[in-house]
Structure 1
Amino acid sequence: MKLDDDIHNYYEHMVLEHIEELGLPKTKSADYLADLTCLSLNQLSPRYIRYEVDMAFYLPNSERQQMRMNVIHAIQTGVDFLDEHSDSNKK
């Protein structure tokens, strides 16, 4: 068994999905997106899974909604941080 192929953090999928929903890949650089992803994931407690179906069928809707709200907050916090520090670097 290769752990890097079988086990992953479900939040990774959620963070990347929300970044796409926001349209950030169209307006931000690859470096910005990588930094944002790291900042966001570091704010979230990992949820390790083997199969996506585990989360789809066994996660209560209330917990799924809370996870989504956590992702939205983490990404916004990351965007605010990056934008603030980007502006200070230009001065």
Structure 2
Amino acid sequence: MSFRDAVDNFYERLVMDAIDATREPGDTADYLTDVMCVALNRLPPRYYRHTIDMMFYLADEELSVMKEKSLAAVRFARDFVREHQRE
């Protein structure tokens, strides 16, 4: 594994979970990809090297807040992408 592949942003996983939780029948892969980009741009990066480190050192309350922020960012992003879709 390259050092370039050794770091991830924890919010990516949380945003994907929030997208899955808010999925609608007409959602396309392109639309959801745009939603993910917009949502992630509204959140601070939270980088980690090993998943176990994040799960072990992250307090339950902090994780809950991060999940709420991710869901709010996805809801905003869904509206934003819908309003700014190219025809």
Same fold (TM over 0.5): yes
TM-score by length of 2: 0.87
2:52 matches 1:53:
yes
- Structure number with the higher helix fraction is 1
Q: Could you tell me how far 1:13 is from its partner in structure 2?
A: 0.7
2:37 matches 1:38:
yes
- For 1:19 and 1:4, how far apart are their aligned partners in 2? 26
The total of aligned residue pairs comes to: 87
Superposed CA offset, 1:14-53 (max 9, x none): 11112112234x5311111111000000000000001111
Question: In structure 2, the residue corresponding to 1:14 is in which secondary structure?
Answer: helix
TM-score by length of 1: 0.84
Partner of 1:27: 26
- Map residues 1-91 of structure 1 onto 2, 5 A cutoff: 2-24=2-24, 26-86=25-85
Which structure 1 residue ranges, 4+ long, deviate > 4 Å from structure 2?
none
Rg larger in structure: 1
State the Cα RMSD in Å: 1.7
Question: In structure 1, the residue corresponding to 2:84 is in which secondary structure?
Answer: helix
- For 1:23 and 1:34, how far apart are their aligned partners in 2? 12
- What are structure 1's unaligned runs of at least 5 residues? none
